Amino acid sequence: MIRKVKGTRDILPPESRLWGVVEAEARRIFEGFGYDEIRLPVMEPTELFVRTVGEGTDIVSKEMYTFADRKGRSLTLRPEGTAGVARAFIENGLGQRPQPMRLSYMGPMFRYEKMQRGRYRQFSQIGIELLGASTPQADVEVLLALHTFLNALGFEDLVIVLNNLGDPEDRERFVEGLKNELLPDQERLCGDCRRRWTENPLRILDCKVPICRELVAHTTPVADVVSDEAKAHVDAVAEGLSALEIPVRLAPRLVRGLDYYLRTVFEVISPALGEDTVICGGGRYDRLISDLGGKAVPGIGFAIGEDRLIDVLPDSFKHRVLDVPVVAVLPLGHEATASALALTVQLIEGGLRAPAEVSGRSLKAGLKWANKMGAAVALILGPSEIAEQMVLVRDLREGTQETVAQDTVVEKVRDLLGRGKTE
């Protein structure tokens, strides 16, 4: 037997329905804010991620699915979406369009990570990017879009944490200071962090090893050493969020696992999953497009980890999506199937979920099938009903039935289902 690749998942019904509705909600809300979808390749030149996400990051140094194609070009399965958006922005001259450009995306990303709950090698992100605006108000809008989306799904317990990374110049200064503070304990850092010491010291702040965490906890937070300008920017973001009553928690030691960020950075955490399993991450990246050879176009955005989001969906949302009543359409004999299928279309157009029996089951077996599916109502259609343009409507929960005219069946079924709901 062939099994799926480690770290990938089969998303089966009915859970797949949750994915579909979450994505539809994301489209509805983000389109409302003016974000249009950009659909990008899943593979990109490896260099794109090396130059944006950063050589010293875990993603680039040990998590990428990189391979040579038949002509020997180095390609990588995208580990994230922002780099591709920046590349596409430059390559398609999107700077010529009215600015800011609001783009959204959803789809699979790939990272060779150690498997654990909520951590996969193929996972899905839903993200938005706002390009061409550098104001704090742009950051507020992006966070409002995130907050609105999470609210629409019924979340009440998620927490947005926010920090100020300063500008790249601030960060250089910060990293010098950090190294000075950690110098006496350098030997106590984990092996990875001793490597990070030279390659990318900021990443030491991200380390999950307890001893590194403990040492880092005593260092000066990055938000304390940023320039007045950067400070004013993120303070204005916090004020804007407070004016909209969006609760945020300041997290002075939050850094992100990608190199392109500056100033505003944020994450969404779920008390249910713990602080290490982040639901969403994002921030500002004003130098990303110019670093890739484009004009100086500022940007900000985020990506939600869809797998993790689905994992902690509120029960209210799950019930709304999963408890959709089913109507089973049962033709008696093959000759009745065409009429049954035509009836099915009528029901579907009426907003109902109405699968037909097409396996040639007897009435008894058909009713068993309907019950197994959890159908609330069965519609039975035999030669005499067809001749009279009638249909037998059986309420499977009550065990009652009545014959109604085919052209009133949608109304009748809705009525039965509505009654079931209030009981």
User: Which residues of this protein are in contact with ligand HAM, per CB under 6 A?
Assistant: 80-82, 111, 113, 118-120, 123, 125, 127, 129, 257-258, 278-283, 301-303, 305, 307-308
Q: Which is nearer to ligand HAM, 121 or 394 (CB)?
A: 121
Q: Which is nearer to ligand HAM, 280 or 347 (CB)?
A: 280
Shortest-Cβ-distance residue relative to ligand HAM:
305
* Closest to 353 measured CA to CA, from 336, 377, 385, 383: 377
As measured in angstroms, the least distance from the Cβ of 388 to ligand HAM is: 56
The C-alpha atoms of residue 42 and residue 46 are separated, in whole angstroms, by 12
The C-alpha atoms of residue 216 and residue 301 are separated, in whole angstroms, by 27
Q: Which is nearer to ligand HAM, 215 or 254 (CB)?
A: 254
For the record, the structure tokens of 77 come out as 């399965």
As measured in angstroms, the least distance from the Cβ of 279 to ligand HAM is: 5
C-beta separation of 237 from 231 below 8 A:
no
The C-alpha atoms of residue 174 and residue 225 are separated, in whole angstroms, by 6
As measured in angstroms, the least distance from the Cβ of 417 to ligand HAM is: 37
As measured in angstroms, the least distance from the Cβ of 268 to ligand HAM is: 7
As measured in angstroms, the least distance from the Cβ of 175 to ligand HAM is: 20
As measured in angstroms, the least distance from the Cβ of 111 to ligand HAM is: 5
Q: Which is nearer to ligand HAM, 270 or 339 (CB)?
A: 270
Q: What share of the chain is helix, strand, coil (3-state, %, to 5)?
A: 45, 25, 30
As measured in angstroms, the least distance from the Cβ of 112 to ligand HAM is: 9
Q: Which is nearer to ligand HAM, 44 or 357 (CB)?
A: 44
Q: Which amino acid is at 377?
A: V
Q: What separation, in Å, do the N-terminal and C-terminal C-alpha atoms of the chain show?
A: 47
| H or E element that contains 129 | strand 122-131
Q: Which is nearer to ligand HAM, 30 or 123 (CB)?
A: 123
C-beta separation of 379 from 329 below 8 A:
yes
Q: Which is nearer to ligand HAM, 90 or 404 (CB)?
A: 90
* Closest to 164 measured CA to CA, from 247, 216, 226: 226
C-beta separation of 390 from 401 below 8 A:
no
SS3 314: coil
